[in-house]
């Protein structure tokens, strides 16, 4: 597993980062429609939906870019996991309440929020959670951990 770890981290970073940037790019083309999509979920007061849309666009763009850049991995992986958890909660909430709305995942007019959408988001949540777990510092067998630990020696008394 240790030999596969860097390749798996790279694949998750590029996959999730690219997906988030693609999703954000499709939404940047029509921010007003995104605000309407956010409002359709009925999770925010109507007056806050435009700000929620801007926050979503900014977060997807920044997290996607940072994933591709490979910087602040632990923190960015945590933000990515939280973002996909939010997506899962929003879609599940819409399904439970019987809302027939566009999911808004890749811009307006994409696809309806369905159980399939929720399953896809759950898989992405799992992938981001795996990236978060793999980016933990101090795991046994890590080269970085091994080089910073001092070997046990006699205790001066």
The better pLDDT of the pair 12, 2 is held by 12
What pLDDT does residue 150 have? Answer: 41
- Alpha carbons 24 and 1: distance in angstroms, whole number: 33
Whole-angstrom distance between the N-terminal and C-terminal Cα of the chain? 41
- Average pLDDT of the chain is 87
What pLDDT does residue 136 have? Answer: 87
Please give the average per-residue pLDDT across 13-28, as a whole number.
96
pLDDT score of 37 more than 80: yes
What residues contact residue 119 under an 8 Å CB cut-off, 6+ apart? none
Q: What is the DSSP string of 25-45?
A: HHHHT-HHHHHHHHHHTT-S-
Cα 41 to chain centroid, rounded: 19
| Each residue's pLDDT tens digit, 45-103 | 999 999 999 999 999 999 999 999 999 999 999 999 999 999 999 999 999 999 999 98
- Alpha carbons 77 and 124: distance in angstroms, whole number: 12
Rg (CA), the chain: 19
- Residue spans per domain, the chain: 5-138
What pLDDT does residue 137 have? Answer: 80
pLDDT score of 126 more than 60: yes
pLDDT score of 152 more than 70: no
């Amino acid at each position: 597993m240790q030999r596969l770890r860097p390749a798996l981290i790279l694949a998750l970073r590029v996959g999730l980062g690219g997906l988030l940037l693609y999703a954000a790019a499709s939404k940047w083309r029509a921010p007003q429609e995104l605000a309407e999509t956010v409002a359709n979920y009925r999770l925010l007061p109507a007056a806050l939906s435009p700000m929620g849309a801007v926050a979503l666009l900014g977060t997807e763009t920044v997290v996607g870019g940072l994933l591709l850049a490979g910087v602040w991995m632990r923190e960015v992986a945590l933000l990515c996991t939280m973002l996909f958890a939010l997506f899962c909660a929003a879609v599940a909430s819409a399904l439970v309440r019987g809302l027939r709305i566009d999911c808004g995942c890749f811009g307006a007019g994409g696809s309806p929020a369905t159980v399939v959408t929720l399953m896809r988001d759950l898989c992405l949540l799992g992938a981001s959670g795996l990236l978060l777990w793999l980016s933990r510092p101090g795991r046994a067998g890590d080269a970085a951990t091994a080089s910073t630990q001092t070997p046990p020696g006699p205790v001066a008394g």
